[in-house]
Amino acid sequence: MSIMEQSAGAVGSGSGPTGTGLTMRRGRPEDAAALCALAVRSKGWWGYSASFMRECAPELVVSPQAAADTVVAEVDGQLAGFHLLVPMPDGSSDCGELGMLFVDPPFIGSGIGKILFEDARRSAAGRGWLRLIIVADPHSRTFYERAGAVLAGERLSQTIPGHSLPVFDVTLRPRPSASSSPRPTYWR
């Protein structure tokens, strides 16, 4: 059963008390430590060794400034996951990167990841990006393929020598012009 089927609450603009269901909100600088801890738990869920986790720890850091740029999913007031969109390092204005998307292990398989990914896709298109690049954990390959991302190649890890990461490309729909009529979208 998906999180949306379990939740009686609606997607809102802020967190609420227990029993409110799923809420999506903008991250805040004070969320940084909790987001870092969630990213470590999520990455560790795949069974990586302690030495591997220490080596990739720099990739899992969320600064207070970056935390303010995240979108956070909460379920009944509990942090369930987040995503972070970042501009491309080359300054490209029509393409960006999904810098992070992590789901806390108790919520893996509940639909939170899909909700976060779709929110990231819409947000990226809203920024005027035509493409979204994802440098992913190898274990998340199936998730991104099912979500419609296309494997575009591999990139060597910047922190772990000899470790390669799949790179996905998502083609985004351009923003509709003012003259076109809006189309309904659904969370399924």
In which band, very low, low, confident or very high, does the pLDDT at 173 lie, cut at 50, 70 and 90? confident
**Coil vs helix vs strand at 77:** coil
The total domain count for the chain is 1
pLDDT above 70 (res 4): no
Q: What is the mean pLDDT of residues 20-44?
A: 95
Across the chain, where does the E strand assignment appear? 22-26, 70-75, 78-87, 95-103, 131-135, 150-156, 164-171
Identify whether 25 is part of a domain. Answer: yes
Which one-letter amino acid corresponds to residue 85? Answer: L
Q: What is the mean pLDDT of residues 101-120?
A: 96
Least confidently predicted of 16-25, 38-47, 145-154 = 16-25
Output the pTM of the full model. Answer: 0.81
List 132's β-bridge partners, or say none.
96, 170
Nearest to 15 by CA among 58, 74, 85: 74
pLDDT above 70 as % of the chain: 81
Identify whether 184 is part of a domain. Answer: no
Residue 104 token pair: 């806390």
Least confidently predicted of 31-40, 54-63, 143-152 = 54-63
Identify whether 149 is part of a domain. Answer: yes
Identify whether 128 is part of a domain. Answer: yes
Least confidently predicted of 5-9, 124-128, 131-135, 139-143 = 5-9
Rg of the chain (C-alpha set): 17
pLDDT score, position 113: 96
Which one-letter amino acid corresponds to residue 163? Answer: H
pLDDT score, position 174: 60
pLDDT score, position 65: 97
Q: What is the mean pLDDT of residues 33-51?
A: 94
Identify whether 186 is part of a domain. Answer: no
Q: What is the mean pLDDT of residues 115-140?
A: 95
Find the CATH number of the domain harbouring 82.
3.40.630.30
- The single-letter DSSP state of residue 162 is T
Identify whether 79 is part of a domain. Answer: yes
Identify whether 97 is part of a domain. Answer: yes
116: domain range? 3-171
Q: Which helix (H) or strand (E) holds 143?
A: helix 141-146
pLDDT score, position 116: 97
Identify whether 65 is part of a domain. Answer: yes
